[in-house]
Amino acid sequence: MRSDVEAGQCIVHCCLRNDFYMLRDLLDEGGDPNTRDRRGRTGLHIAASKNDTEMMQVLLDHNAELNVLDCQGNTVMHYCGHEESIQLLVDYAAGSQVHMKNFGGATPVTLAKRRGISDHIIEILENLKNTSEPIPDKRYFPPPAAPVAPPRLELPAHPEPEDQADPPSAFDNIKNAWFEFCTDLGPEKLACLLVLAVFVSLYVAYAVSTYSKRLVQDTRIPVPVSDDNFSEHIEL
């Protein structure tokens, strides 16, 4: 059996890896569903950004806190970009989060427009904003001002295979960082960035090819031709 602290530390990582069954097992073992990562996000934030309503539901079933803020003041609603995740929050009476502004003054509607979310979702958020009442900011729970270092865990000398949690590989870290970057950037800006990268690559390839041809021409050794041979060649 894992300790509560150990199980809690794996909650966010399971959400990032889309590992539903491991997440469920950790929660059943007493893992804290409100554990945060270095950006102040809980598993509920991450599951909402992926529109993983099954993962959101199991977190809520284990008393995950709805009114939590990340380090930028974003609620769970700020991370929603799909109708299913929004509806799940409404079912849990968290629709009023649509009024909440993060520390940069942006509401979920504002972020949805920046990220290029479809007009249908933006319309749902705006309708929700018109039909719900904001709740006091004091009911929200921001991350702690200073991160607290987790206690060192005393692992058994010979842990059972089923009790071992695989550490994240370098590929998993890169994949998670890339997903976070794409999510924050939005599909339209990401497409523009990829097109720009293609044009820059083509330009660099053309410039290198042109420079190489000029370099080859400049380094050719001229063949000397004597005047006698040249005149004989002309006479022939």
CATH of the domain at 17: 1.25.40.20
Q: Indicate whether 84 and 112 sit together in one domain.
A: yes
* Whole-number Å distance between alpha carbons of 14 and 175: 14
Question: Within a domain: residue 154?
Answer: no
Query: Tell me, what's the pLDDT at 90?
Result: 87
Question: Within a domain: residue 159?
Answer: no
Q: Indicate whether 132 and 200 sit together in one domain.
A: no
pLDDT along the chain (236 residues), means of 10: 55 88 89 88 91 92 89 90 89 83 89 86 86 66 55 48 54 69 68 85 87 71 56 50
Burial class (CB in 10 A: 0-12, 13-18, 19+), 189: middle
Report in angstroms the alpha-carbon separations of 47 from 14, 21, 108, 236. Answer: 10, 14, 16, 87
* Whole-number Å distance between alpha carbons of 91 and 27: 22
Question: Within a domain: residue 191?
Answer: yes
Q: Indicate whether 8 and 76 sit together in one domain.
A: yes
Q: How remote is the C-alpha of 144 from its chain's centroid?
A: 22
Q: Indicate whether 169 and 212 sit together in one domain.
A: no
Q: Indicate whether 71 and 179 sit together in one domain.
A: yes
The structure tokens listed for 202 are 């083509």
Question: Within a domain: residue 141?
Answer: yes
Question: Within a domain: residue 58?
Answer: yes
Question: Within a domain: residue 160?
Answer: no
Query: Tell me, what's the pLDDT at 139?
Result: 55
Q: Indicate whether 134 and 196 sit together in one domain.
A: no
**Residue range(s) defining the domain that contains residue 204:** 186-221
Paired residues of 141 in beta bridges = 68
Q: Indicate whether 191 and 136 sit together in one domain.
A: no
SS3 per-residue string spanning the chain: CCCHHHHHHHHHHHHHCCCHHHHHHHHHCCCCCCCCCCCCCCHHHHHHHCCCHHHHHHHHHCCCCCCECCCCCCCCHHHCCCHHHHHHHHHCCCHHHHHCCCCCCCCHHHHHHHCCCCHHHHHHHHHHHHHCCCCCHHHCECCCCCCCCCCCCCCCCCCCHHHCCCCCCHHHHHHHHHHHHHHHHCHHHHHHHHHHHHHHHHHHHHHHHHHHHHHHHHCCCCCCCCHHHHHHHHHC
Q: Indicate whether 113 and 216 sit together in one domain.
A: no
* Whole-number Å distance between alpha carbons of 11 and 22: 9
Q: Tell me if the pTM is above 0.75.
A: no
Q: Indicate whether 172 and 217 sit together in one domain.
A: no
Q: Indicate whether 56 and 138 sit together in one domain.
A: yes
Query: Tell me, what's the pLDDT at 176?
Result: 65
Q: How many domains does the chain have?
A: 2
